[in-house]
Amino acid sequence: MTTLEQGQAARIKKPTSRFMLAHPAHILAQGFGSGLSPVMPGTSGTLFAWLSFTMLSQRWPDFFTASHWALVILLSFVVGVWACEKTGRDLGVADHGSMVIDEIVAFWIVLLLLAPMSFKTQCWAFLWFRFFDMVKPPPIGYFDRHLKGGFGVMWDDIVAAFFTLLVFALWRNAIQ
């Protein structure tokens, strides 16, 4: 990476695995490589979230209980703010598309709060979350445009997770 002026990083349009491996913040922000996908990195990050949540919960069910997941999510949010701040600065783009820790943490929230659920329900949760994350209806779009830095990167996806959960709450209320 070249520096344009002191404190100003060069814009990196397409980060590589070499960039990702250059700093632990990059590895985390880029979702352990899922954000380097050349096609729809946010969707790849969400798929990584789904796979990791499922695998960790099945492999170590005594450790990955609901309360432990809540702690993991909270810590991941805090670390994600730092990782996105650092990675965005190094890329020269505050909310670069390759940074997907925001999708990962937000979709973990959806999976945790809807558990237990069928595979079909997980698929619907995935589709609704991706819809809200990509379309960014109000107030998601507002937060995306106005909150800056690592917190801003993370926060709009948390709101997208809330909207996803709201769809399920309304749907469950409608069928009862």
Residue 65 lies in a domain: yes
pLDDT band at 6 (very low <50, low <70, confident <90, very high): very low
Identify whether 130 is part of a domain: yes
Q: Structurally, how many domains does the chain consist of?
A: 1
Which of 54, 12, 37, 52 lies closest to 100, judged by CA?
A: 37
Which residue has 């880029």 as its token pair? 30
Q: Which of 10-14, 68-72, 116-120, 124-128 has the lowest mean pLDDT?
A: 10-14
Instruction: List the domain range (segments joined by +) for residue 141.
Output: 17-175
How far apart CA 159 and CA 34 sit, in angstroms, is 22
Q: Report the C-alpha gap between 108 and 113 in whole angstroms.
A: 9
25-76: pLDDT as tens digits: 999 999 999 999 999 999 999 999 999 999 999 999 888 999 999 999 999 9
User: Does 129 reside within a domain?
Assistant: yes
Q: What's the predicted TM-score (pTM) here?
A: 0.92
Q: What does the pLDDT read at residue 172?
A: 87
Residue 8 is assigned to a structural domain of this protein:
no
Note the pLDDT of residue 173.
Answer: 86
Tell me the sheet residues that pair with 9.
3
Model pLDDT, residue 10: 65
Find out whether the peptide bond into 24 is cis, omega within 30 degrees of 0. no
Residue 5 pLDDT greater than 60, yes or no? no
Please count the residues of the chain: 176
